[in-house]
Structure 1
Amino acid sequence: MMTTTRGDGGGGSSIVPADPASVATLKKKTAVSRSWILLDSTGEGTILDVDKYAIMHRVQIHARDLRILDPLLSYPSTILGREKAIVLNLEHIKAIITAEEVLLRDPLDDNVIPIVEELRRRLPPNNYIPQGQGDTKEQQNGQIDIEGGEEDESPFEFRALEVALEAICSFLDARTTDLETDSYPALDELTSKISSRNLDRVRKLKSAMTRLTARVQKVRDELEQLLDDDDDMADLYLSRKLSGASSPVSGSGAPIWCPASPTIGSKISKASRASAATIRGDENDVEELEMLLEAYFMQIDGTLNKLTTLREYIDDTEDYINIQLDNHRNQLIQLELFLSSGTVCLSIYSLVAGIFGMNIPYTWNDNHGYIFKWVVILTGITCASLFILIISYARYKGLVGS
């Protein structure tokens, strides 16, 4: 059952039952929402409307860490390991993970609602049975769950972290797929017809691809940075640090207390194994988290490869368009050369005709009217020969096509 917690002026909080009216009111709040949802290890959710000081006191983190989750501040994707919490800022996923609970910001956001549902489904341990159901079966098979099924269960913080990584990787991959669906037909249409409309469409798609590539690259770099530093990965083992600090052990490394019930015994068994691992010097063993991060690193790297392929396709399209434009430019240059050559030849012809057409007396022109006719003919032949010579020379030099 979900409840709603509201903070008072003194930083405290009171719990009241949540109803549809309160949820609707919460959804109508301003963009600067202080709402969080608290999910415990059983998947039960509680909506909190508290200030940052209450959150800092609850999870024991500094203000600078909480500032990373502020929606008004543009912080890149970040995974930070603190003493008792993991601060997670992955696009729209802004969460604080502890060894026992998850605080997720803006639970009524459309992109966050599926994550909340997935956390409710996957946070409870494999052997968790809701209260009032199967008590007898739990009592009969509790020891089997502790000794058998519990061995393969990941720590609480890793289950929550996996949900967040899976959600953000799937979200970015879906955005990439949508971008590919829109981009490839637009690029093909642009190659067949270069127009202002197609160019503007491709420009917008390229801008969207650049922004998405930056987001995917940041998530990939953050995972790569974690994988390269074993100390940073060790900081994310909250259950191990919690059990190492609070679970007393005897000289042989065995717990000095015994489970009183199968459910409690399951948690104690897990804490005992983590404590024993710490004593044996396995606090630097990060293989489990490394395999988890590697899986999603490969997924986000595949998404980045898709965007890289799309960028290469866009670059190839741009090169093809530039070649087409160069070809058209060369055709215009050829036309300009033809026109210029013809203009030069006609100018020479007009010059000769103009000289002979002037009303100026010449002694050699007296009684020799036939000379004008042959001069005009020879001038025309000379101009045509000059035009052919210019075009031949241009083709020889490769300035025009054959």
Structure 2
Amino acid sequence: MLPLSLGTVRSSLTITPRWSSLRKFSSSIPTFNTSSSSKNTAAILLHKNLLQRKNMLYGYGSGTVKCTVFDAFGVTGTQSMEMKRDDLVSTQGLLPRDLRKIEKSKQNDLVPSLLARKKNILISLLTIKALIKPDMVIIFDSFGSGISLDSRAHKTFLKDLQLRLRNQSTTELTQDPLPYEFRALEAIFISALSNLTSEMKVLLTVSQGILQDLENSITRDKLRFLLVQNKKLSAFSKKATLVRDMLDDILEQDDVLCSMYLTDNNYGTPRIHDDHSEIEMLLETYHSHVDEIVQMSENAISNVKTTEEIINIILDSNRNQLMLLGIRFSIGMLGMCGALWVGSLYGMNLENFMENSSFGFALTTGLGVIFMSFLYFKGIKQLHRLQKMSLLNSGKTEPPFIQMKK
């Protein structure tokens, strides 16, 4: 039989959704009866295809970005549509590095960011990644960051965003005088703060329950659960602090605040200097809410740490009591050693005047008890003296600095 040609090998390589099946398939390729050059070429092509498939599974370098687009009237098309990366960069006035935050943050996006350009605003806040223009909002797919497109939170966010972009008076909302881009920003901040508040309530409820249980009894399982909860509170506090720091940085930059007026920039009347009262008031409002969340999370962490310190003090006190009990037993054994020493002297096979006396045994026993009692009470008295602690000098001599003052 003739060896398989390169075209036959390439046509037989089909990419399956599972990485394990691709590895199994790739391991079976060297069994083909091909020449060395054909084997090397097929292996290189297979390796490239596998890498491309792996990148597409995680959205890296696939050339398309999944997103949901809202027009100027708040009307959305098909959710989770795909847009070419090159078209998105060229038509929306972006730079290739601007999309790096959107493409690379597929697992856990902790650090938020807000990039203000002349024609758009690119924001990445917790699970929401969006591109805002004066007449369009693009919500990028945040799958992999904890909230999927089919989740209830994401659907609620899209619904609220649509209502705010339409800017029609309803029973839930009144007509907002803010421009299009600020209404979109407000919807994003409301959704992010809602998620933070919900997560904070769950963490506070669980931590308070653990602290109340520890007041009744301290067990190993409760301490382990408290340690895990403390880690979650610390991670949440760090996340909320980063959001607050981002808002602080934006509020300190007048040029960034002025560049966020996309509608005015589109009409040729850009804001200059400190003419940004609307966006400043908007950001300060949500900054105060985030700061409150940060303070509450820090208070919860402080309560947990205080409880841990109290538990450590209690455990140290129990250890000290056990050590004192051991020392008392050691002192008792020392006293018994004194009595045994007297008895061993009496029991020696040596002639002495006490052997023929009828009071020898009683005298030896009395001496042993007296010696044992003396050693025991002397040791206990010294132990009690060591237990007393004072911040002042109990001796007759005064401290050196008092003597110098005199």
Please classify the TM superposition score into its range, dividing by the shorter chain length.
Answer: 0.7 to 0.9
SS at match of 1:50: strand
CA-CA distance at 1:356 after TM superposition: 2.1
Q: Distance in 2 between matches of 1:309 and 1:72?
A: 31
From 161, 167, 176, the equivalent of 1:119 is: 161
Note the C-alpha offset of 1:291: 0.1
Residue 47 of structure 2: aligned partner: none
Is residue 219 of structure 1 aligned with residue 243 of structure 2? yes
Equivalent pair of 2:340/2:368 in contact (CA under 8 Å) = no
Q: How well do the aligned residues superpose, as a CA RMSD in angstroms?
A: 2.4
2:321 to 322, 331, 351: 331
Cα deviation, residue 392, structure 1: 2.2
Query: In the alignment, is residue 46 of structure 1 matched against residue 77 of structure 2?
Result: yes
Kindly indicate whether residue 102 of structure 2 is the aligned counterpart of residue 72 of structure 1. Answer: no
Further displaced range: 369-378 or 81-90? 369-378
What's the secondary structure of 2:73's corresponding residue? coil
Q: Is 1:191–1:320's contact at 8 Å kept on the other side of the alignment?
A: no
**What count of residue pairs does the alignment treat as equivalent?**
316
Report deviation, 1:125: 3.3
- Looking at structure 2, the residues matched to 186 and 117 of structure 1 have their Cα atoms a distance apart, in angstroms, of 37
CA distance in 1, matches of 2:87, 2:212: 55
CA distance in 1, matches of 2:238, 2:351: 84
Deviation at 1:240?
A: 1.7
**1:227–1:290 Cα contact (<8 Å) kept:** yes
Give the deviation of 1:30 after TM superposition.
Answer: 5.3
Give the superposition deviation at 1:399: 5.8
Q: How does 1:223-242 map to 2 (within 5 A)?
A: 223-242=247-266
1:163-210 CA-partner distances (Å, limit 9, x unpaired): 101110111011001111111011111232111110111111111111
CA distance in 1, matches of 2:206, 2:294: 17
Residue of structure 2 equivalent to 1:5: none
1:260-279 residue CA offsets vs partner (Å, 9 max, x unmatched): xxxxxxxxxxxxxxx3xx4x
Give the distance between the partners of 1:97 and 1:201, measured in 2 at CA.
42
Q: Secondary structure at the match of 1:95?
A: strand
Q: In 2 relative to 1, CA 363–76 (structure 1 residues): closer, same or farther, beyond 3 Å?
A: same
1-structure distance, mates of 2:101, 2:355 = 103
- Which of the numbers 125, 137, 142 marks the counterpart of 1:102? 137
Give, in whole Å, the separation in 2 of the partners of 1:351 and 1:369. Answer: 21
**8 A contact 2:335–2:374 mirrored in 1:** no
Higher relative contact order (CA 8 A, sep 6+): 1
Q: Deviations over 1:265-311 (max 9, x none)?
A: xxxxxxxxxx3xx4xx7564011000000000000111111101101
Q: Which region of structure 1 is more displaced relative to structure 2, 115-124 or 232-241?
A: 232-241
CA deviations on 1:102-150 (whole Å, 9 max, x unpaired) are 100127242422211111111013489xxxxxxxxxxxxxxxxxxxx99
- Give distance in 1, aligned partners of 2:110 and 2:302: 29
Deviation at 1:355, TM superposition (A): 2.6
Aligned residue among 285, 294, 305 for 1:295: 285
Q: Hey, what's the Cα distance between the residues in 1 that align with 2:319 and 2:338?
A: 29
Name the counterpart of 1:16. Answer: none
Identical-residue share of aligned pairs (%): 26
Aligned residues of 2:182 and 2:279 also touching (Cα < 8 A): yes
Query: Counterpart in 2 of 1:168?
Result: 192
Structure 1 residues 399 and 382 mapped into 2: Cα distance closer, same or farther (>3 Å)? Answer: farther
Partner of 2:341: 351
Contact 2:203 2:229 in 1 (8 A): yes
Q: Which amino acid aligns with 1:160?
A: A
Uncovered stretches (5+) of structure 2, i.e. residues with no partner: 1-55, 143-148, 390-406
Q: CA, structure 1 residues 96+392, in 2 after alignment: closer, same or farther (shift >3 Å)?
A: same
User: In the alignment, is the contact (CA less than 8 A) between 2:255 and 2:273 conserved in 1?
Assistant: no
Taking the aligned partners of 1:58 and 1:373, their CA distance within structure 2 comes to 112
Distance 1:227 1:109, change over 3 A: farther
Q: State how far apart, in whole Å, the 2-side matches of 1:162 and 1:227 are.
A: 15
Match of 1:36 in 2: 67
Task: Please give the per-residue CA displacement for 1:312-354, whole angstroms capped at 9, x wherever unaligned.
Answer: 1112211221121122112112211210110111112112212
Task: Quote the residue 1:153 is aligned against.
Answer: 177
1:305 maps to what in 2? 295
Partner of 2:102, secondary structure, is coil
Residues 329-385 of structure 1: per-residue CA shift (max 9 Å, x gap): 121122112101101111121122123223x32355563463343122112112112
| Match in the other structure for 1:377 | 366
- Please name the residue that 2:93 is paired with: 60
Contact 2:258 2:272 in 1 (8 A): no
Unaligned runs of 5+ in 1: 1-28, 129-148, 245-274
CA apart distance, 1:62: 1.1
Do the aligned partners of residues 127 and 396 (structure 1) sit closer, same or farther apart at CA in structure 2, a change above 3 Å counting? Answer: closer
Partner of 1:259: none
CA contact (8 A) 1:191 1:317 kept: no
Structure 1 letter corresponding to 2:224: D
Structure 2 counterparts to residues 167-316 of structure 1, below 5 A? 167-244=191-268, 275=269, 278=270, 282=272, 284-316=274-306
